[in-house]
Copies of this chain bind each other. A is one copy, B any other.
Amino acid sequence: MNNYQTSLRDIDFVLYELLDYESHCAQIAQSTLDRELVNAFLAEAARFAEKEIAPLNSIGDLQGCQLMAGQVTTPKGFKEAYLNYCAAGWPGLMRQVQYGGQGLPQSLGLVISEVIGTPNWAWGMYSSLSQGAMYTLEMHGTSEQKSQYLPHLISGDWTGTMCLTEAHAGSDLGLLRTKAVPQRDGSYKISGNKIFISAGDHDFARNIIHIVLARLPDAPEGTKGISLFVVPKMLSDAQGQVTEPNGVSCISLEHKMGIHGNATCSMHFDEAQGWLLGDLHKGLPHMFTFMNLARLGSALQGLAHAEVGYQKARDYARERLQMRSLSGVKNPKGEADPIMVHPDVRRMLLTQKALLEGQRMLIYYASQKLDISAQIDNDEASQVASQILGVLTPIAKAFSTEAGFESANLALQCFGGHGYIRDWGLEQNLRDCRIATLYEGTTGIQALDLLGRKLLGDGGQALTLLTDEIELFCQQSEDLLHLNAHITQLAKLNQEWQELTAEIAQKARQNPDEVGAAAVDFLMYSGYVLLAYLWARGRKIAYAKLEHGHIDSKFYKAKLATADFYFARILPRTQALSEAIRSGADNLMSLPDEYF
B444 pairs with A419, CB closer than 8 A: no
CB distance from A509 to the nearest CB of B (A): 12
CA distance A196 to B420 in the complex (A): 10
Max chain B Cβ within 10 angstroms of own Cβ: one of A405, A417, A448, A513? A417
- Interface mask (A340-376 → B, CB under 8 Å = 1, otherwise 0): 1011111111100100000000000000000000000
Whether a CB of chain B sits under 8 angstroms from the CB of A585 is yes
Closest to A555 in B: B595
CB neighbours of A326 from chain B (8 A): 512-513, 515-516
Whether a CB of chain B sits under 8 angstroms from the CB of A568 is yes
Whether a CB of chain B sits under 8 angstroms from the CB of A453 is no
Among candidates B417, B439, B576, residue contacting A576 with C-beta atoms closer than 8 Å: B576
Considering only residues 164-223 of chain A, those with a C-beta below 8 Å from chain B are 165, 168-172, 174-175, 196
Whether a CB of chain B sits under 8 angstroms from the CB of A102 is no
A595 pairs with B344, CB closer than 8 A: no
CA distance A563 to B459 in the complex (A): 35
CB distance from A547 to the nearest CB of B (A): 18
A24-32, A149-157, A251-259, A490-498 - interface stretch = A251-259
A427 pairs with B421, CB closer than 8 A: no
CA distance A347 to B585 in the complex (A): 9
Max chain B Cβ within 10 angstroms of own Cβ: one of A171, A418, A588? A588
CA distance A471 to B397 in the complex (A): 44
CB neighbours of A442 from chain B (8 A): 413, 416
CB distance from A552 to the nearest CB of B (A): 11
Whether a CB of chain B sits under 8 angstroms from the CB of A502 is no
Task: Using C-beta atoms within 8 Å of the partner chain, give the interface range for chain A.
Answer: 35 or more
B422 pairs with A430, CB closer than 8 A: no
Q: A568-B583, A569-B587 are in contact. Are A420 and B447 (CB under 8 A)?
A: no
Among candidates B344, B413, B564, residue contacting A519 with C-beta atoms closer than 8 Å: B344
CB neighbours of A519 from chain B (8 A): 343-344
Closest to A326 in B: B512
Whether a CB of chain B sits under 8 angstroms from the CB of A565 is yes
CB neighbours of A243 from chain B (8 A): none
Considering only residues 544-596 of chain A, those with a C-beta below 8 Å from chain B are 554-555, 557-558, 561-562, 564-565, 568-569, 572-577, 579-580, 583, 585, 587-591, 593-596
Whether a CB of chain B sits under 8 angstroms from the CB of A541 is no
CB neighbours of A589 from chain B (8 A): 343, 346
A517 pairs with B416, CB closer than 8 A: no
CA distance A444 to B351 in the complex (A): 15
CB neighbours of A431 from chain B (8 A): 257, 427, 431
Whether a CB of chain B sits under 8 angstroms from the CB of A470 is no
CA distance A596 to B318 in the complex (A): 10
CB distance from A334 to the nearest CB of B (A): 10
- Per assembly, the copies of the chain total 2
Whether a CB of chain B sits under 8 angstroms from the CB of A286 is no
CB distance from A236 to the nearest CB of B (A): 32
A327 pairs with B513, CB closer than 8 A: yes
A350 pairs with B591, CB closer than 8 A: yes
Considering only residues 412-448 of chain A, those with a C-beta below 8 Å from chain B are 412-413, 416-423, 427, 430-431, 434-435, 437-439, 442-444, 447-448
CB neighbours of A443 from chain B (8 A): 413
A575 pairs with B569, CB closer than 8 A: no
Whether a CB of chain B sits under 8 angstroms from the CB of A335 is yes
CB neighbours of A343 from chain B (8 A): 513, 515-517, 519, 585, 588-589
CA distance A256 to B423 in the complex (A): 9
Q: A344-B520, A420-B435 are in contact. Are A568 and B580 (CB under 8 A)?
A: yes
A417 pairs with B575, CB closer than 8 A: no
B172 pairs with A336, CB closer than 8 A: yes
Q: A444-B344, A558-B591, A593-B340 are in contact. Are A438 and B422 (CB under 8 A)?
A: no
CA distance A343 to B321 in the complex (A): 47
B170 pairs with A416, CB closer than 8 A: yes
Closest to A435 in B: B420
CB distance from A579 to the nearest CB of B (A): 4
CA distance A175 to B334 in the complex (A): 11
B255 pairs with A554, CB closer than 8 A: no
A418 pairs with B255, CB closer than 8 A: no
Among candidates B255, B409, B595, residue contacting A561 with C-beta atoms closer than 8 Å: B595
Whether a CB of chain B sits under 8 angstroms from the CB of A322 is yes
Other 5 A-B pairs with CB < 8 A, given A170-B417, A344-B448, A417-B438: A171-B322, A172-B322, A344-B519, A347-B520, A431-B431
A-B contact pairs, 16 of them (CB 8 A): A172-B321, A255-B421, A256-B422, A257-B427, A264-B421, A325-B513, A340-B596, A342-B516, A343-B516, A344-B516, A345-B444, A348-B444, A349-B596, A350-B588, A416-B438, A569-B587
Q: Which 6 A-B pairs have the closest CB atoms?
A: A343-B516, A257-B427, A572-B579, A568-B583, A326-B512, A343-B517
